[in-house]
Amino acid sequence: MAEKSSAGPAVGAAPELAPGERAAAEQLFGDRLDVARQYVGHLATSGLERGLIGPREVPRLWSRHVLNCAVIESEFPQGAAIADVGSGAGLPGLCLAIARPDLRLTLIEPLERRVVWLEEVIADLGLTNVSVVRGRAEQMTGMIDVAFVTARAVSALSTLIPMTLPLLGGSGTLVAIKGRSAAEEVEKAGKAIRKFKGHSAEVHTVGDGLLEEPTTVVRIDVGEV
């Protein structure tokens, strides 16, 4: 049974933005910063209560999670259709949907309790450019039409490749948020990248000069992009 309260999701005040975070948040979210604050409030309350966020993550929701995800908006062209695999608490999918209302996001999440939470939060935030589908990424091949796939903290790249590249239908780009071992992961995933017709694997950072710790991204193209 869906874990949904008739009263909707609980939401409290978002953790305050530190001075260094405020400038980044204002640049990334602009006049939608209040929506981002509301989302962080959900993460800090109902997200914590339902196990989507750990207690120790609450004080660093802005820097470690929301800003870390939102900054990759620069990776996507105007109007891009994107699938967020293993969306969980909406990271990075909801961050992108808030920062870039022109983008079209499909959040793929296999766990019902997370799907229910995501749908509640999307409705509460009034987001119209994002939808949620329940299922595993491997089940969605041929069922969604996107030019980009993104993922964060789902699995090692060698495991992530078979889950994500087929969703692109032969043409598109994977934009994966990774840690400091990204280059090593790319090297280990070489066989999987080739097997699923990926090429032009690139590791770079985004948010340099904006975030205290820039976000590391792996981009892998499939077909003609």
- For 122-157, the pLDDT digits (tens) are 999 999 999 999 999 999 999 999 999 999 978 899
| pLDDT of res. 202 | 97
* 122 neighbors 132 (Cβ within 8 angstroms): yes
Q: What is the dihedral of CA 159, 52, 180, 222, to 10 degrees?
A: 40
Q: Tell the residue number behind the tokens 């948020």, with chain if given.
A: 177
Give me the domain span that covers residue 180: 70-222
Q: Is there a domain that residue 190 lies in?
A: yes
| pLDDT of res. 224 | 84
| pLDDT of res. 20 | 86
Q: Is there a domain that residue 206 lies in?
A: yes
Q: CA-CA distance, 164 to 149, in Å (whole number)? A: 6
Q: Is there a domain that residue 58 lies in?
A: no
Domain CATH for 140? 3.40.50.150
* 95 neighbors 50 (Cβ within 8 angstroms): no
| pLDDT of res. 6 | 39
**β-pairing, 81-85 with 215-222?**
unpaired
Q: Is there a domain that residue 53 lies in?
A: no
Q: Is there a domain that residue 55 lies in?
A: no
Q: Is there a domain that residue 210 lies in?
A: yes
Q: Is there a domain that residue 16 lies in?
A: no
Domain count, the chain: 1
Give exposure, 96-135, as e/b (b: 16+ Cβ within 10 Å). bbbbbeebbbbbbbbeeebbbbbbbbbebbebeebbbbbe
Q: CA-CA distance, 210 to 208, in Å (whole number)? A: 5
**β-pairing, 148-152 with 81-85?**
parallel
Bond before 110 cis per omega within 30 degrees: no
What is the residue type of 19? P
Please, what is the end-to-end C-alpha distance for the chain in angstroms?
Answer: 42
Q: What is the pTM of this model?
A: 0.93
Share above pLDDT 90 across residues of the chain, in percent, rounded to a whole number: 88
Please identify every stretch of the chain with a pLDDT value under 70, giving residue numbers as ranges.
Answer: 1-13, 225
Q: Give Dmax (Cα) for the chain.
A: 49
Q: Is there a domain that residue 61 lies in?
A: no
